[in-house]
Structure 1
Amino acid sequence: MKKKQVSIIGVPMDLGQTRRGVDMGPSAIRYGGLYERLTDLGYTVHDKGDITVDILENAEQSGTSNLKNLESVTEASECLAKKIEQIITDGHFPLVLGGDHSIALGTLAGVAKKHKNLGVIWYDAHGDLNTPDTSPSGNIHGMPLAASIGIGHSALINIGGFSPKVKPEHVVIIGARDLDAGERKLIKEKGIKVYTMHEIDRLGMSAVMRKTIDYLRERTEFVHLSLDLDGLDPTEAPGVGTPVAGGLSYRESHLAMEMLEESSIITSAEFVEVNPILDEKNKTGAAAVALIASLLGEKLL
């Protein structure tokens, strides 16, 4: 994390799922003092504002797919991908604020366009490895990782004009505790490395992060962190749309971010699924800011 130029871009996306309010996530994170926290760490912060996302009262349904809001999500993802490409071209660290997790479609497309041998840490209660055939809901926020490894609807896998964005063996999922049957099957078929809460409880977060860092360092040159706040336990991060009990603690998550900063492997990041309507006095937005600060070098001493 030697780069001292950080570019922030917000994606007020709530079309990848059905609970309104997550489009206000970027504002909630900014309100939590993100700019001040990063400038205090010595970064030059460029806030690029938010990309434009359609506001829809009712879900768009594609005539050829069960996916909700496919056209609008794809359009926003293409826009985000181009902006991420430019941020990396400028030599800045891309920091993306969500918005639901469908925004990772655009983030990964932009990052992978510039960073060819990419690794991904997916810090999440969910695998987000569904496809139109396996998804129980048709919500695209449950599909971005599958699409990014080249599996799913053609409009999603080809964002940015190429596929896949990342190899399955270059992905590590951390904190999973709610996987659909189709996702479990895909994980086994593709050999995706997953540390569920079972492994984290048995091994401890420190060991899991050491293994993750070593695994990706051996295989990749760049690593993107995609952190869904529902990876944390709902008592720590109540303002998320799909909370799952038994999650990662606030302190475990800080340790994970601190170890990633010490490793210097993270080259881009996104923090997603902050929904201030469901939150308690911006507790989840503030948690996102604190974790970002740890990732970028903030320490107690």
Structure 2
Amino acid sequence: MTRRLRRSASRHLGSEGAGAVLGCGGRRWQNGPVALIRHPFHLDDPIAALAGPAAPVVPTGDALAGRLYHLFEPLASRVAGATGGGAPPVVLSADCTTALAVLAGLQRAGVDPGIVWLDAHGDLNTPETSPSGYAGGMPLATITGHADPGGLAGRLGLRPVPEERVVLAGARDLDPGEEALLAAGRIERRGVADLTAATAGPGPLYVHVDLDVAGDLPGLRYPSAGGPSFAGVVAALDRLLAAARLRRAGWVDDPPLLVRRARLSDAGALSELWRECGLKFDAAVVPAELASCLDRDDGLVLVVASEERVVASAWGTYDGRRGWLQRLATAPDQRGRGFARRLVRLLEHRLARAGCRKVNLLIEPSNADVTGFYQALGYARDDLLFMERHLPGGV
């Protein structure tokens, strides 16, 4: 890790797949490059050491939550875009509240991760329990749904992460309110040395590292004695990375599967996938339909694919008033890995960015078993009569 990263107050690693995909300070993971995103602020104060060539623009306004929203909304969008493009985002910042934007971005891209939170402090205060009122001491309480100072999480669209999916590692400097929340809740506490391959659990993982978790680093804003060595923190991250590699070997084909936009050359593979999944469609018109949609709604037809095979699809359209979700399919041997959920969330994010306020979908009576899946994603049934007419000469 570079000296600049040693001096920065926190580091965040967000990943699309199970387990963080980076070694400490690394710029590549096993499937390609990462997206390094700098957020050069401590709350809303600019930090020159983290800035790139352009000077950071400081937001204005009376309320801290409002100023942070103007910083965090574009950050969340960048994280979502990087995740959707298949490059795990690595966000460098100077305080832990940035995690709100990172997690909101991951969720927008269809990734609902568990969390391993390495920090000397609990970050579990609320406005009612905080002795100081410091916003940087509240992000994990906000992420787990115990607080939302200024309504910031709500404005970002951040959904609470269940406590049982959170591991707090290395925390040793806790306020009474934080101790009480931990005692009454389901967040798991561990020492940094106790982080192993099993810590990550199944599914996507977000790893948050506040460098004050190490007890031997100089120049930190809020140091805390008695913690593990920096080398011990690096070793723990390496163990999490090893777990990610093991699960990747079990989950992902070789070459790896990536979420990407559909291409016209995918027409045959899409037909094969839909046929395998039992969808009703006319294979003869798929190339023409796909070409038309790619021309009109580029970026709304999504696939999960390797170089050899398409294993999942989501076909979105937008007419300027309503968005439509169609032909959501996952190959039978790839189900249970979260591909469909991720494609839906990513499509929703892109539709919302285009100005869409409502998404519709139709379910064939023979496929009614999928209703619960959509309900779990927030979709509600509407009793309507559906009518159609086939036009002569139409595609």
In structure 1, the partner of 2:83 is 88
Q: Is the 8 A contact 1:23 1:100 kept in 2?
A: no
Tell whether 2:58 aligns with 1:54.
yes
- In the aligned structure 2, how far is the partner of 1:162 from the partner of 1:232? 29
Q: Is the 8 A contact 1:123 1:227 kept in 2?
A: yes
How far does residue 6 in structure 1 lie from its aligned partner after superposition? 0.8
How far does residue 77 in structure 1 lie from its aligned partner after superposition? 1.7
Q: Which residue identity does 2:40 align to in structure 1?
A: P
Q: How many residues align?
A: 218
Q: Which residue identity does 1:94 align to in structure 2?
A: P
What does residue range 1-301 of structure 1 map to in structure 2 within 5 Å?
1=21, 2-15=30-43, 23-27=47-51, 52-54=56-58, 62=63, 69-153=64-148, 155-164=151-160, 166-195=161-190, 199=191, 205=193, 208-210=194-196, 213-217=197-201, 220-233=202-215, 236-264=216-244
- Structure 1 length-normalised TM: 0.65
- In the aligned structure 1, how far is the partner of 2:171 from the partner of 2:221? 16
How far does residue 78 in structure 1 lie from its aligned partner after superposition? 1.8
Give the gaps of 5 or more residues in structure 1. Answer: 31-48, 63-68, 268-301
After superposition, the CA RMSD in angstroms is 2.6
Q: Deviations over 1:79-126 (max 9, x none)?
A: 211110000011101000012111111011111333444111101001
Q: Which has the larger radius of gyration?
A: 2
- Structure 2 length-normalised TM: 0.51
Q: Which residue identity does 2:50 align to in structure 1?
A: P
Q: Deviations over 1:28-81 (max 9, x none)?
A: xx8xxxxxxxxxxxxxxxxxx88955267xxx764xxxxxx2211222122211
SS of 2:167's partner is strand
SS of 2:123's partner is coil
**Counterparts in 2 of 1:194 and 1:50: CA distance versus 1, 3 Å:** farther
Identity %: 32
- In the aligned structure 2, how far is the partner of 1:50 from the partner of 1:230? 28
| Bigger helix fraction | 1
In structure 1, the partner of 2:274 is none
Q: Deviations over 1:245-264 (max 9, x none)?
A: 11110221121121112111
Q: Which residue identity does 1:157 align to in structure 2?
A: A
SS of 1:10's partner is strand
**Counterparts in 2 of 1:61 and 1:160: CA distance versus 1, 3 Å:** closer
